[in-house]
Structure 1
């Protein structure tokens, strides 16, 4: 029997992934706001998929804390949760520390140049106040370690926790004041270029712990930190 070019299972998987990533991005960038009610029919029409991929995507979003599902009642975009963000930050910092430790011995000159270039783009975006560009450049910088480490489990964990951090960053800060992170990034590259895996790993972890969403997990999201503590993004 000829092998089908694409199975029905593969098609469903692609539709499910498309729905999940599109909805996740809309929640993170604020298109879908905290507390907003999600209607299956409207989401299906917007995404151009059937109800099944939408419901599967919603289940994944609930698992990572981006939506709240009340069976038989409603599905809404989760409110900002400071405690969850702090927990996500701790996990992300540990994963990026591991990524640097595993990646440094395998970095090439091209990898180091890519990190330097990303940091330059990051600095420029901070100067012009372009939030999207700054976040993209920050992701590109740290993404080199994640990619070179080749650790798929590590990457999967980051894929779950990073959106929680990015969402808080976008919502809580109208301007970026993370210029100190440019110097931190440069130091990380310097340590990596010297082959200091432990030093680069520690510096990478500290860089991710720079953000302090609030003074304590019990504070209100409106109370924000002092600008000198708000190094966003890393």
Structure 2
């Protein structure tokens, strides 16, 4: 797939984290396909930045397993590997279980409202067949308690391994995912009621419904 021509570049004043997020999202949403070669010069031109933040972003993407770099040769988008998905899923699940346990009974009304709103957007996106919007809404929902907890270590782990799981989730949400709406609603109620044990168990179930093959997640 050629470098997209219609996407506006990143403002030169933005930090390298923004370049990383743009490239990460382009891999997760399928703009860049498995096996596709990524050239830092082309990417820098696309984003309107120098090669330095692009190279740094590619190193971070390599650490996450989203790209494979051969020193002195090329960098390509990695395939969706079952073991990599399983490993990432287990780590992501453990982080969200910890968040659920810590945040049960402590979310503010505004935070709960944001979770409910995200689930409504998630349901609408599924109904419209908009996989990208469904993924965004799902990530927003699960991100509310993570942000509320404010544990930088957990956020760093999720930032590294979350995209591997999200990439695999596209297949599930493209095919449906209606059961996730009810699970989300139940999770919100458990967090509101302060039932840390049940909220943790449901969170574990949600993330582990993504099988090793990465074909049918329902987070």
Q: TM-score, normalised by structure 1?
A: 0.82
Which residue of structure 2 lines up, in the alignment, with residue 181 of structure 1? 180
**Offset of residue 213 of structure 1:** 4.7
| CA distance in structure 1 between the partners assigned to 2:155 and 2:57 by the alignment | 19
Residues in 2 aligned to 1:106 and 1:47: alpha-carbon distance in whole angstroms = 40
Identify the residue that residue 211 of structure 1 maps to in structure 2.
Answer: 210
Instruction: Tell whether the 8 Å contact from 1:15 to 1:49 is kept in structure 2 after alignment.
Output: no
Aligned residue number for residue 49 of structure 1: 49
Residues 16 and 57 in structure 2, CA contact (< 8 A), matched pair in contact too: yes
Per the alignment, residue 99 of structure 2 pairs with: 99
Structure 1: stretches of 5+ with no match in the other structure = 1-11, 215-220, 225-229
> C-alpha displacement at 1:114, in angstroms?
2.1
Match of 2:114 in 1: 114
Report SS of the residue matched to 1:105.
coil
User: For the Cα contact (< 8 Å) 1:177–1:231, is it kept in 2?
Assistant: no
Query: Once the 2 structures are TM-superposed, how far is the Cα of residue 212 of structure 1 from its aligned partner?
Result: 1.6
Aligned partner of 1:6 in structure 2 is none
Distance 2:100 2:93 in 1: 11
Give 1:136's aligned residue. 136
State the alpha-carbon separation in 2 of the partners of residues 194 and 158 from structure 1: 25
Q: Deviations over 1:43-97 (max 9, x none)?
A: 1211212222221111111111111111121111112111101111111111111
TM-score, with length taken from structure 2: 0.87
Please provide the CA RMSD for this pair: 2.1
**Distance between the aligned counterparts of 1:110 and 1:42, measured in 2?**
42
Q: Is contact 1:94-1:205 (8 Å) kept? A: yes
**Following TM superposition, by how much is the alpha carbon of 1:105 offset from its aligned partner in structure 2, in angstroms?**
3.4
- Asked whether the 8 Å contact 1:211–1:231 carries over to 2, the reply is yes
For 1:81, the equivalent position in structure 2 comes to 81
Distance 1:206 1:133 in 2: 23
- Counterpart CA distance in 1 for 2:141 and 2:67 is 29
The change in CA–CA distance for 1:114 and 1:52 in structure 2 (over 3 A counts) is: closer
Deviations 1:165-203 (A, max 9, x none): 111222x45733211111111111221221112211221
Q: 1:84 to 1:94 in 2, by over 3 A?
A: same
Are positions 1:198 and 2:197 aligned together? yes
Paired with 1:89 and 1:149, the residues of 2 have a C-alpha distance of 20
Structure 2 stretches of 5 or more lacking a match? 1-11
CA contact (8 A) 2:126 2:177 kept: yes
* Higher Cα Rg, which structure: 1
